[in-house]
Structure 1
């Protein structure tokens, strides 16, 4: 069964929506972006998050120390690393107890990466889809991101066969998370395996 990550959560209403939709992962953005939140906000939000939902922190070239501070505060379970991350940095985060998602934007996946999950993305929140046929199939947990919506996620799953799909702007209306779109996205992801 493909799992779902809803990213860019910013408000209590977003937490209510992912709790009601039974998503698998909740993403909090700590890097500079439209969805950025502070550590204090993330901690306040995650107190209302269903404990079965894993918390993912999104970082772009932050230091290991900065990421670990967020982890040790209790805000995240998994670090999603955009930008340049070395095998040594990944190992330090894992040694501290974090799981790591290494993101490959506009580049081939490195099957030698020691990260727990490998993500292919078209760019941080760009809303652009990837050429799904061009994604190499490797025997590692793959996360597909980039331009996914309730309308195209089932097709993307049929082509790429990812373990996890990740969405942010694709479940928004007027720049805000839309609970109905979140429900539709999850329904269309999961029903691929019900048919």
Structure 2
């Protein structure tokens, strides 16, 4: 069964929603942007998060030391690297105990990298759906970009990814929507 990541969590009610509907992963964005949170905010949110839900830190050009500190503070167990992450960075994070997701935006996956997972994305929060016909079925990828409760099931049935990742696709007026989160998870888990 495809796993689900709800990303861009920023508030107590966001955490209540994921605790209620039980995705596999919860994403905290440390990169600049609308969903960015601080170390202190992430610490408070992580303490409220159901321990069965793994927490993912989203980073752009962050130092390995900062990422490892978040891991040691038990805020994240997975590092999602956008736009950077060469083999030495990936190896350093993995040797500290972190799982690593390397993100590829509108580019082929570099199979020479030994990240635990690859993510295929259409662009940081663009809301645009990838051209799914160009992606080969792959059980080692996270599929992101433009996914919604309405299209996630067909995307999963076409690509058969390890996981799907959503942020703005489960929002209404820029805020996480309980009903859309529930719907997205239900549709994703109902895919073949």
> In which range does the TM-score fall when normalised by the shorter chain?
over 0.9
Deviation at 1:111, TM superposition (A): 2.1
- In the alignment, the residues of structure 2 paired with residue 57 and residue 145 of structure 1 have an alpha-carbon distance, to the nearest angstrom, of 15
CA contact (8 A) 1:108 1:136 kept: no
Contact 1:55/1:76, CA 8 A, preserved across alignment? yes
Match of 2:117 in 1: 117
Count of aligned pairs: 192
The structural deviation recorded for 1:192 is 1.4
Distance 1:84 1:24 in 2: 25
Segments of 4+ moved more than 3 angstroms: none
Instruction: Note the C-alpha offset of 1:137.
Output: 3.7
Aligned partners of 2:31 and 2:58 also within 8 Å: yes
Tell me the residue number matched to 2:173. 174
Aligned to 2:40: 40
Q: Show the 5 A alignment for 1:71-90.
A: 71-90=71-90
> Secondary structure of the residue that 1:28 maps to in structure 2?
strand
Q: Answer whether contact 1:6 1:168 (CA < 8 A) is retained.
A: yes
Q: What secondary structure is seen at the aligned counterpart in 2 of 1:181?
A: helix
Matched, 1:64 2:40: no
Shift of 1:112: 2.3
- Any stretches of 5+ residues in structure 1 without a counterpart? none
Q: TM-score when scaled to structure 2? A: 0.97
Q: Show the counterpart of 1:54.
A: 54
Q: Is the 8 A contact 2:64 2:92 kept in 1?
A: yes
Superposition RMSD on alpha carbons, in Å?
1.0
Alignment of 1:1-195 (within 5 A): 1-138=1-138, 141-193=140-192
Give the conservation status (yes or no) of the 8 Å contact 1:122–1:145: yes
Q: Secondary structure at the match of 1:55?
A: strand
Distance 2:109 2:135 in 1: 8
Shift of 1:84: 1.7
Contact 2:86 2:113 (C-alpha < 8 Å) held by counterparts:
no
Secondary structure of the residue aligned to 2:100 is strand
Deviations 1:28-50, CA, capped at 9 Å, x for gaps: 00000100000100010111111
**Counterparts of 1:55 and 1:85, CA distance in 2:** 19
Alignment deviations for residues 125-168 of structure 1 (CA, whole Å, 9 cap, x no partner): 11111011101345x51100000000000111111111100000
Measure, in 2, the Cα distance between the counterparts of 1:177 and 1:124.
Answer: 17
Instruction: Provide the rounded CA distance (Å) in 2 between the counterparts of 1:97 and 1:67.
Output: 11
What TM-score, normalized to structure 1? 0.96
Give 1:11 shift.
0.1
